[in-house]
Amino acid sequence: MASEKIPLLELKGVNKTFNGVVRALIDVNICLYPGEILGIVGENGAGKSTLMKILAGVLPPDSGEMYFLGAKVSFPRNPREAASRGIALVPQEKGVIPHLKVYQFLTLGNEDCFSSFGRLKIGEMRKTAEKILSELNIDCDTNAYMYELPLPVQKLVEIAKAILTIRVRCRNTKITPVVILDEPTAPLAVEHRKHLFEFMTKAKEHTSFVFVSHIIPEILGFADRIYVLRDGRVVASHNLREEKLSEEDIFREIVGRSSSEFLKRRESVTRETPWRVLLSVRNLSKRGSYYNVSFDLHEGECLGLFGTAGSGKAEIIKTLAGIMDFDEGEVVFDGRSLRKGEPPYMRLRRGIGYFSGETGKELFLNWSIARNLSILNLEKVITLGGIILNSKKEEEIAERVMRALKIKAPSPRTECYSLSGGNKQKVSVGKWMERKPRLLLLEDPTIGIDVGAREDIYEALLEMKKNGISMVLVSDDPKEYVLLCDRILYIKGGRIEKTVTPEELEKILREE
Amino acid sequence: MRVFLRIFRENFVIFVLLALLALFSIIYPQKFWSPVNISAIFRQFLRLSLFALGPTMVVTMGSMDLTYVGIWMLGGVLTWYLHPKLGSLAILVYPLLGLATGLLTGLVQVKAKIPSFILTLSVTVSYWGLTAWLSGGYPRMVRGYRFITTSLSPYVPMALVLAIPIMASAIFIMKGTKVGTYLYAIGSNEEGAELSGIDTRKYKILAFTLSGLFTGVGLIILFPLLGGAAPTELRLGNLVEPLIAIVLGGTPLVGGSGGPEKTLLGAFTFAVIQRGLGLAFLKPELVNLLLGLIVLGAIFVGTRKLKGMIVT
């Protein structure tokens, strides 16, 4: 269908190198047609974000050509110039300015159109803001602060801002606006993602979307065409309207190998003999979050808490970690009752570790990999009467962990901020691998990272499980439960509905 | 009604202020509301607020500006230098010095990426040294400017009326113009502001320049009001008290929220606390201790109420 139409935008032979060494993009060609949703998939570090930033005028390319409705144009030099051509970016993170009011945020960068002699016409700004929000069916108060809005609404307001910016900046009303969404679903729960997709499918009539994601099923669900990026190159492009593709096909293109053998390995891990109970939870309640939660966890077992966002699963795991407190009930760990209001470090002393995949929570980014690994394992690296930090020992541990988790970095002394998202996450997992807690609480352990890194992390977690470490898992990715868990508690409205096996969960998911 | 509720919710310091006014009215029924005390509160309010207005803009942007004491000191000795030649006009050296200082610190901060706290502190220390050198180590008196130091009524000093346009324009810049919106945006999320197409470096320099300019213009009023001679010694109180007014008013030091109108409230509350304690004839050491504790308490209670805000 697409070949007869003139593409709205076309990039040819785009190259980009960082610091003269890292080749982020190599000879990339893509095009975008009016009124379509274009998916860009690839691992972290494949160059997706760099490509989007070049499109939106945030970064300049080293070389390449840009065509606009068939005519050659120069690359936009800044976001403002991009907007004047009808392109705007909704960044992956840090796009929201929390302390601005909604109407201020929506018009940010375009105040010149709403002021006379330097004075802002606030009434007019609010009216414009209300108009675009009602047009896009976004329900929120324009006088509220951005931080007061729920996360999914913030994302929608960001999209509205992109569209509004294009309208204000771009004089040619005939041009279809292009909104670039960089990993928009990462901070959203499953049901809010659906809402976002519905929103985009509706808005497709008047707006083109470029949608960057590493979550394959959601891309397959609603994109019209996709490009697959690997190591800075476009390795494949598909028209999803015409081709029928499975997740497995795209997975193979993204990582350059197959995943099926790994997914099958799960069965070999399950044990025959039941081990003793490590954690026992009785009638645990927290008003407004969860009620009468009771379960037992055995040594070396992985228990999943499955449910939608807001079902109380996150609150339960946070309670076990000591981040949240409970109102009533009892938690017995290794024969001892856990006190109320016990802080996380006390839980750690007992052998309960908590790992959250939310980026930036776990790591000290300006520290080296080795130091980040030893922060949880100081007793191993401190020698000579517990005073001196043995950096040789530290590096030894780091090298071992890096090998086990396939962390790609020049040396154990590499500072963590320079690592890609997946490698950062691996360092976080490595800390716990080395620490060997008796119970590891996992909350979204692989959120926001690519398939290849996920696989390495799953492998490490399964290895830990085999060594007798118990786990509790909370995740937004249903597949993770099937892969890692022995038993799954199905939670709804803060209560345990039923207990299912991974196979049963798989069936439930397929029926849905 | 809803607007009022919102104002009260967002400016908890109003409750602190009302409570303190009630408390001091009960303790000193006559003395506190006497013309002498009221005009003294206004003078103290002017001192705190005119020093704090400029820096408030930089603080909402997420940086720090401590140059105000330095500008006061160096400008004082420059005024004394120029007074024999220029007469009363000599005081106009203040806005010029403020503008130049602000522009320069802004440029250095953005180009050299030095943390603003230590940069502006160094500027003040350097100006202190320069002042001591130029003045020969003595505070130099400049007379004149009686129209600023007179009283409009027994309660209201003339300077307060003169300061109102300065305060109003600070509030206007922050609330009603593009520049103000951008400063809030940068303080709240610098990267996001950049992605919205804002030249953050330009507006950072502008914030420091505005801050210096407001300090300089404010000093036209403050210099005569504070005795017509700038000190040649750096005193901690001069440096810290305007900052307390900023934080007490509800502008967190991490930036993003707050603003000049809150600083005015904070400055007034702090002035009331200071005068209220001053009336008690306590030992000066004790006054400072109590002052510190009350401010700590007020900020503690105030920040509890700012739900969802980042508090520092």
Q: Are A467 and A299 in contact (CB under 8 A)?
A: no
Average pLDDT of chain A, as a whole number: 85
* Chain A residues near residue B185 by CB distance under 8 angstroms: 97, 100, 104, 108
> Cβ atoms within 10 A of the Cβ of A194, count?
15
Q: Which of A166-175, A263-272, B147-156, B158-167 has the lowest mean pLDDT?
A: A263-272
Cα–Cα distance measured from residue B55 to residue B311, given in angstroms and rounded to the nearest whole number: 18
Cβ–Cβ gap B256/A99 under 8 Å = yes
Asked whether residue A240 falls in the same domain as residue A334, the answer is no
What is residue B66's predicted lDDT score, i.e. its pLDDT?
A: 95
Closest CB to B189: pick one of A89, A94, A112. Answer: A94
pLDDT category, A256, cuts 50, 70, 90? low
Q: Does A80 touch chain B (CB under 8 A)?
A: yes
Top pLDDT among B257 and A263 is at: B257
Check CB contact of B202 with chain A, cutoff 8 Å: no
A256 and chain B in contact, CB less than 8 A: no
Q: In what order do the strands lie in the sheet with A277-286?
A: A290-298, A277-286, A328-333, A336-337
A–B: how many Cβ contacts below 8 A? 71
Q: Please state, for a pLDDT cut of 70, what percent of chain B lies above it.
A: 96
Chain A touched by B285 (CB under 8 Å): no
Contact A305, A472 (CB under 8 A): yes
A436 in contact with B, Cβ within 8 Å: no
Q: Give the model confidence (pLDDT) of B188-202 as tens digits.
A: 989 889 888 889 999
Shortest alpha-carbon distance between residue B28 and chain A (Å): 41
Last-in-domain residue among A235, A258, A281: A258
Q: Which two tokens stand for residue A134?
A: 């009602």
Please report the pLDDT score of residue B64 as a whole number: 94
- Which SS3 state, helix, strand or coil, does residue A382 take? strand
Query: What residue of A is the nearest CA neighbor of B200?
Result: A109
Cβ-based contacts of B196 with chain A (< 8 Å): 79, 97, 108-109, 161, 165
Chain A contact present for B115, CB below 8 A: no
DSSP A121: -
pLDDT, one tens digit per residue, over A101-155 is 999 999 998 888 898 888 999 999 999 999 999 988 888 899 999 988 888 889 8
Cβ of A360 under 8 Å from any chain B Cβ?
A: no
Ranges A10-19, A358-367, A433-442, most confident: A433-442
The answer to whether B169 contacts chain A (CB < 8 Å) is no
Average pLDDT of the residues in B203-221: 97
Dihedrals φ, ψ of A356, to 5°? -115, 135
**3-class SS at A386?**
coil
B197 touches chain A (CB under 8 A): yes
Q: For residue B309, which residues of chain A lie inside 8 Å, CB to CB?
A: 99, 147
Of the three residues A258, A286, A321, the one that is the final residue of a domain is A258
Whether A78 contacts chain B with CB within 8 A = yes
Cβ neighbourhood burial of B266 (10 Å; 0-12, 13-18, 19+): buried
Q: Cα–Cα distance between A82 and A162 in angstroms, integer? A: 11
**Nearest CB to B196: which of A98, A108, A119?**
A108
Structural domains of chain B, ranges and CATH numbers in brackets: 14-304 (1.10.3470)
If you measure CA to CA, which chain A residue comes closest to B189?
A97
* Confidence check: pLDDT of A60 > 80: yes
Mean local confidence (pLDDT), B287-296: 84
Which of the four pLDDT bands, split at 50, 70 and 90, describes residue A421? confident
- A184 occurs within a structural domain: yes
Residues A433, A323 share a domain: yes
- Give the model's pLDDT for residue A265: 47
The span from the CA of A389 to the CA of A366, in Å, is 18
User: A388-397, A399-408, A494-503, B41-50 — which is least confidently predicted?
Assistant: A388-397
A164 and A107 within one domain: yes
Task: Tell me, yes or no, if B200 comes closer than 8 A to chain A by beta carbon.
Answer: no
Please, are residues A39 and A213 in contact by the beta-carbon 8 Å criterion? yes
Same domain, residue pair A251 and A275: no
**Same domain (yes/no): A274, A354:** yes
Nearest to A109 among B187, B197, B308 (CB): B197
Instruction: Inform me whether the C-beta atom of residue A89 falls under 8 Å from chain B C-beta atoms.
Output: yes
Distance from CA of A119 to the nearest CA of B (A): 5
The end-to-end CA distance of chain A, in Å, is 32
Kindly state whether B253 is in contact with chain A, defined as any CB-CB distance less than 8 angstroms.
no
For residues A442 and A464, state if they share a domain.
Answer: yes
Q: Quickly state the pLDDT bin for B302 (edges 50, 70, 90).
A: low
- Answer yes or no: is pLDDT of A384 > 70: no
Contact at 8 Å (CB) between A8 and A207?
Answer: no
Q: Which two tokens stand for residue A169?
A: 């900046």
Dump pLDDT digits (tens) for A40-57: 988 766 788 889 999 999
Which residues in chain B are contacts of A168 at CB distance < 8 A? none
Among candidates B177, B192, B309 on the partner chain, residue whose Cβ is nearest the Cβ of A97:
B192
Is A280 contained in some domain? yes
pLDDT band at A260 (very low <50, low <70, confident <90, very high): very low
Q: Is B100 on the interface with A (CB under 8 A)?
A: no
Helices (H), ranges, A93-236: 102-106, 122-135, 151-169, 190-203, 216-222
Q: Which of A91, A95, A111 sits opposite B181 (nearest CB)?
A: A111
Nearest to B308 among A94, A96, A148 (CB): A148
Q: Determine the pLDDT at residue A21.
A: 58
Buried b (16+ CB within 10 A) or exposed e, A282-291: eebbbeebbb
Backbone φ/ψ region at A360: left (φ over 0), alpha (ψ -120 to 50), beta: left
Within this chain, do residues A233 and A352 fall inside the same structural domain, yes or no? no
Q: Which two tokens stand for residue A87?
A: 């392109």
Buried b (16+ CB within 10 A) or exposed e, A310-326: ebbbbbbbbbbbbbeeb
Same domain, A61 and A100: yes
CA dihedral (A241, A246, A251, A254) in degrees, to 10, reads -20
- Report chain B residues whose CB lies below 8 A from the CB of A100: 181, 184-185, 188
Range of the structural domain that residue A106 is part of:
2-258
| Nearest alpha-carbon partner for B66 in B96, B109, B26, B4 | B109
Query: Is B256 in Cβ contact with A118 (below 8 Å)?
Result: no
Round to whole Å and give the CA distance between A340 and A327: 8
> Which residue among B172, B189, B195 places its CB closest to the CB of A98?
B189
Tell me if B196 and A109 make a contact (CB, 8 A cut-off).
yes
Between chains, do B196 and A145 touch, taking CB under 8 Å as contact?
Answer: no
Burial A241-267 (b: 16+ CB within 10 A, else e): eeeebeeebbbbbbbeeebeeeeeeee
Residue range A431-481, pLDDT digits in tens? 999 888 999 999 988 877 777 888 889 989 998 988 889 999 998 777 788
Number of domains in chain A: 2
Please give the pLDDT value at position B304.
58
Which of B176, B187, B196 lies at the smallest CB-CB distance from A120?
B176
Instruction: Find chain B residues with C-beta within 8 A of A80's C-beta.
Output: 197
- Boundary (domain end) residue, out of A239, A258, A277: A258
pLDDT at B311 over 50: no
- Asked whether residue B229 carries a pLDDT value surpassing 60, the answer given is yes
- Residues in chain A within 8 Å Cβ distance of B177: 115, 118-120
Interface test with chain B among A59, A89, A90, A108, by most B beta carbons within 10 Å: A108
Query: Measured between CA atoms, how close is A258 to chain B, in angstroms?
Result: 37
Q: Minimum mean pLDDT among A2-6, A214-218, B137-141: which range?
A: A2-6
Q: Provide the pLDDT for residue B94.
A: 96
Residue matched to tokens 């000049």: B260
CA-closest candidate to residue B110, choices B208, B252, B212 = B208
C-beta separation of A381 from A390 below 8 A: yes
Tell me: the pLDDT tens digits for A265-303?
455 445 555 578 899 999 999 988 899 999 999 888 899
A283 and A358, same domain (yes or no): yes
Same domain, A184 and A333: no
Q: How confident is the model at residue A263 (pLDDT cuts 50, 70, 90)?
A: low
Render pLDDT for A409-418 as a digit per residue (tens, 0 to 9). 888 888 888 8
* DSSP of A292-335: EEEEEEETT-EEEEE--TTSSHHHHHHHHHTSS--SEEEEEETT
> What's the rounded mean pLDDT across residues A322-345?
89
Nearest residue in B to A112, CA atom: B178
What are the pLDDT digits (tens) for B86-131?
988 999 999 999 999 999 999 999 999 899 999 999 999 999 999 9
Sign of CA dihedral B253, B254, B260, B263: negative
> Considering the domain boundaries, does residue A377 fall inside one?
no
CATH of the domain at A287: 3.40.50.300
Q: Residues in chain B, how many?
A: 312
Which pLDDT value is given to residue A266? 53
Residue A308 lies in a domain: yes
pLDDT score of A395 more than 70: yes
Closest CA of chain A from B172, distance in Å = 8
- Same domain for A271 and A249, yes or no, is no
- Interface probe for A, chosen from B196, B254, B257, B312 (most Cβ of A below 10 Å), is B196
Using alpha carbons, select from A364, A338, A373 the residue that is nearest to residue A352: A338
Specify the pLDDT at position A512.
Answer: 58
- In this structure, the answer to whether residues A228 and A297 fall within a common structural domain is no
Identify which of A78, A108, A165 has the shortest CB distance to residue B185. A108
Chain B residue with CA closest to A169: the answer is B197
